[in-house]
Structure 1
Amino acid sequence: MPVSFAARLLAALRRHWAHYLAEAAGIAFFMTCAALLTTGLEHPASPLHQALGKQQQLRHWLMGVGMGLVVVLLVYSPWGKRSGAHINPAVTLGFWQLGKLRTPDAIWYVLFQVAGALGAGQLLKVTLGPFYAHPSVNFTVTEPGPQGELVAFAAEFIISFILMVVLLAALHSATWKKRAGWLIGALLALYIVFETPYSGMSLNPARTLGSAVAAGSYRGLWLYWVAPPLAMWLATVLFRRLYHGEDLECAILAGCTPGPSSPHTPGEEPPVYPEEK
């Protein structure tokens, strides 16, 4: 007798709840670091902001490097290696398209990513209070720049497409797979410095939603839920068609090797294998 999809969802939750919690914790940690760094660098009352004075470009570089290192930390942390450190529905969609994430697991990943982002936004709103709400920080919302939503959409699409192509190329390379997290961190740093004026530099619909709900501001929210997932899905489809070398081993950004050398204990394998027929 076929097992219902609801039963498969519950079975996945019982087996892989720790992976899902790791995704929620990862995106919450990312948002917390972004809020603290933005507050320290941009809030007028911050000693760091006052010390840097009018050196806006330097502040942007410090923000970019700081958040790039946060991504590296997440990717290579124990919880990042457990869940794969997607912390982004668009990345999860890409690995699902590759057949490296079961459908029930992908659904739970996205739900926990959204829950982690929403929870982090509300917690930051309570703990940081007026600092988080100050116009210079503005709940770290990502909104279209003065060029409008069409330019913001195009910018989000381009940076998301490039990120996924770089990630897949690295993970398919024996030389670069263990350095994929560093490549993504470097890209994120560059995006923050150079792309932020166009779209606010999201890449991540869940993170944008968490900040938007905290701020009560939803301008252009739709484009962040369309452009990054669409771009990463398309990059995955094209990469799969054009790449004819070694298959991707897993849906873990830190890279892995299946079997005995997996970073997971037997019976606690990450959800990285195709849907069972």
Structure 2
Amino acid sequence: MAQRQRGKSNATTASAALRQHWHLYLFEGAELAIFMLSACFGDVLLYSPASPISAAMPSLALRGLAMGAAMGVTAVLIIHSPMGRRSGAHFNPSITLTYLWLGKIAPWDTTFYVAGQFAGGIAGVGVAALFLGKWLAPPPVLYAITVPGKYGTDAAFAAEFFMAALLMGMVLWTSNRAAFAKLTSYLVGVLITFYVLLFGPVSGFSINPARTVGSACFAHIWTAIWLYFTAPLLGMFLAAQVYVLLYGKAGVLCAKLHHGPSDLPSP
């Protein structure tokens, strides 16, 4: 993440952006689809009453830790995959929109990144449903939905806001320091692991509106959907604003999740 993104985008129109970077938009969709496949399979294995693994692991805390580790490893593998290295491995509209505000991605690329992410979230759950239909649909799995837990909507909003702010703050701080840049992706994985364990029961762990929509489309459950659009974005924007106030936009040399080249356009 310590290197600058290569090249300046000249994609001033939608058609030009599509011609130049269509493969990156597909990559972003595929990355979130893979993440959702992992989430759906993990939920079935660890939480479905029909799963022998769930039956053998009665401790909710242990299941939460296992689920968190699975999602954290999945995120790290996606970030370091050929697709992730090319697209920047956002697979989250809140991250992409924050990078737009920071001037690290062009407006049309932002539009198609976000569209790809939403399409990928829905596609990932759809593919999982083809393989896991009779296990993925019933409670408590419910297509790996994210809804507020027993503490209510306010607690869920606070959890999503906090997780998003800490994630973005960590990414910006480490990725712009040579000594820590190579660790950024692994720290993302560690955060996700503990987010699932600690905040999964509070908000379902989303910090990603496309991830929430992907599950909701199949479960037909849209409880407090607004918070999964607003809290992650507000949290990431706040973290980025604080970082810029402390270090200036000149202090944001890059905003990538891995240490290596990318052809993600900058303005």
TM-score, normalised by the number of residues in structure 1: 0.89
The CA deviation string for residues 173-205 of structure 1, in whole angstroms up to 9 with x for no partner, is: 101111111001100100100111111111101
- Paired with 1:155 and 1:10, the residues of 2 have a C-alpha distance of 39
Residue 205 of structure 2: aligned partner: 201
Aligned residues: 258
- Work out whether residues 172 and 246 of structure 1, in 8 Å CA contact, stay in contact via their aligned partners in 2: no
Residue 243 of structure 1: aligned partner: 247
The CA deviation string for residues 151-175 of structure 1, in whole angstroms up to 9 with x for no partner, is: 2111111111111101111111101
**Larger C-alpha radius of gyration, 1 or 2?**
1
Residue 124 of structure 2: aligned partner: 120
The CA deviation string for residues 63-90 of structure 1, in whole angstroms up to 9 with x for no partner, is: 1111111111011111100001000000
Q: Kindly state the Cα deviation for residue 206 of structure 1 after the two structures are TM-superposed.
A: 0.4
Task: Tell me if 1:87 matches 2:81.
Answer: no
Candidates 19, 22, 31, aligned match of 1:17: 22
Residue 260 of structure 1: aligned partner: none
- Paired with 2:156 and 2:56, the residues of 1 have a C-alpha distance of 32
Q: Kindly state the Cα deviation for residue 134 of structure 1 after the two structures are TM-superposed.
A: 1.9
Candidates 133, 140, 143, aligned match of 1:129: 133
Range moving further from structure 2, 119-128 or 10-19: 119-128
Residue 259 of structure 1: aligned partner: none
TM-aligned CA distance change 1:51 to 1:172, over 3 Å: same
Q: Kindly state the Cα deviation for residue 244 of structure 1 after the two structures are TM-superposed.
A: 4.6
Task: Tell me if 1:8 matches 2:25.
Answer: no
Q: Kindly state the Cα deviation for residue 252 of structure 1 after the two structures are TM-superposed.
A: 2.4
Range moving further from structure 2, 116-125 or 133-142: 116-125
Larger RCO (CA within 8 A; separation ≥ 6)? 2
Residue segments in structure 1 that go unaligned for 5+ positions in a row: 1-5, 257-262
Task: Tell me if 1:188 matches 2:192.
Answer: yes
- Work out whether residues 83 and 252 of structure 1, in 8 Å CA contact, stay in contact via their aligned partners in 2: no
Identity of aligned residues (%): 40
The CA deviation string for residues 185-244 of structure 1, in whole angstroms up to 9 with x for no partner, is: 100100100111111111101000000111011001111001101111121122111115
Task: Tell me if 1:26 matches 2:31.
Answer: yes
Q: Kindly state the Cα deviation for residue 94 of structure 1 after the two structures are TM-superposed.
A: 1.3
Residue 225 of structure 1: aligned partner: 229
- Work out whether residues 37 and 127 of structure 2, in 8 Å CA contact, stay in contact via their aligned partners in 1: no
1:97-108 mapped onto 2 (5 Å cutoff): 97-108=101-112
SS in 2 for 1:157: helix
- Paired with 1:70 and 1:126, the residues of 2 have a C-alpha distance of 21
Residue 61 of structure 1: aligned partner: 65
Candidates 144, 168, 173, aligned match of 2:148: 144
The CA deviation string for residues 112-152 of structure 1, in whole angstroms up to 9 with x for no partner, is: 00011112222222331111112121110000112221221
Amino acid at match of 1:226: T
Q: Kindly state the Cα deviation for residue 251 of structure 1 after the two structures are TM-superposed.
A: 3.8
> Which runs of structure 1 show a deviation greater than 6 angstroms over 4 or more consecutive aligned residues?
none
- Paired with 1:42 and 1:148, the residues of 2 have a C-alpha distance of 21
Residue 153 of structure 1: aligned partner: 157
Task: Tell me if 1:36 matches 2:76.
Answer: no
- Work out whether residues 45 and 54 of structure 2, in 8 Å CA contact, stay in contact via their aligned partners in 1: yes
Range moving further from structure 2, 96-105 or 55-64: 55-64
- Paired with 2:26 and 2:42, the residues of 1 have a C-alpha distance of 24
Amino acid at match of 1:11: A
- Work out whether residues 97 and 237 of structure 1, in 8 Å CA contact, stay in contact via their aligned partners in 2: no
